[in-house]
A and B are shown apart, each in its own frame.
Chain A
Amino acid sequence: EDKVVQSPLSLVVHEGDTVTLNCSYEVTNFRSLLWYKQEKKAPTFLFMLTSSGIEKKSGRLSSILDKKELSSILNITATQTGDSAIYLCAHFGNEKLTFGTGTRLTIIP
């Protein structure tokens, strides 16, 4: 059974800080790792990482896949209050997503 673990479970920082969210995975056949942002209800897609695309960046957000350590990080620089959300990591394999527990990020103005 595929397993995805995220840490920390929650994080509170001040606006302008840089944060790093962690995701580790234990899967039978790695296909791709995805990051989602969930602000109130529906998660929205951020990044997908594969063996051939291990680093992605979009504005202040970036993500890296470490195939040796079976993990990924999501970095957010110069955080803003709008970054407050639950960040979900998921493995896509066997035609379905397996999600981690999520990290609840709170940005204090």
Chain B
Amino acid sequence: DGGITQSPKYLFRKEGQNVTLSCEQNLNHDAMYWYRQDPGQGLRLIYYSQIVNDFQKGDIAEGYSVSREKKESFPLTVTSAQKNPTAFYLCASSIHRASYEQYFGPGTRLTVT
């Protein structure tokens, strides 16, 4: 089956700890994206990568970091510097940077207490 997987579905962490969210795709897509969704705020872009070993900040990158060492993987680290990390995190991919059609993973709900 082709698609995007995110793990885990639910994640709980204590304040002050870094946590890494996984995103893997087997669609052979070049571009990958991370979004954050809060109630009443839609999706906001955190980071995106259009090619391996390259990534750009989105609209709300502060407190997050990413890497893109392999085409199929784009992990997101939520650092202790992120003030309000509790949210629903969605990963997406598209065939290339100019493609409007993004395919979304099932998401990870992160709760930090």
Contacts and interface: CB of A to CB of B under 8 A. Distances in A.
Contact of A96 (B45, B106, B107): B45
Interface residues of B, number: 23
Which secondary structure dominates where chain A touches chain B?
A: strand
Contacts, number: 51
Interface residues on A, range: 20 to 34
A24 to B, nearest CB: 14
B45 A97 contact: yes
Interface of B: 31, 33, 35, 40-45, 48, 50, 58-59, 90, 97-98, 100-102, 104-107
Given A31-B100, A96-B33, 7 more contacts: A4-B42, A34-B100, A41-B106, A88-B43, A95-B97, A95-B98, A100-B42
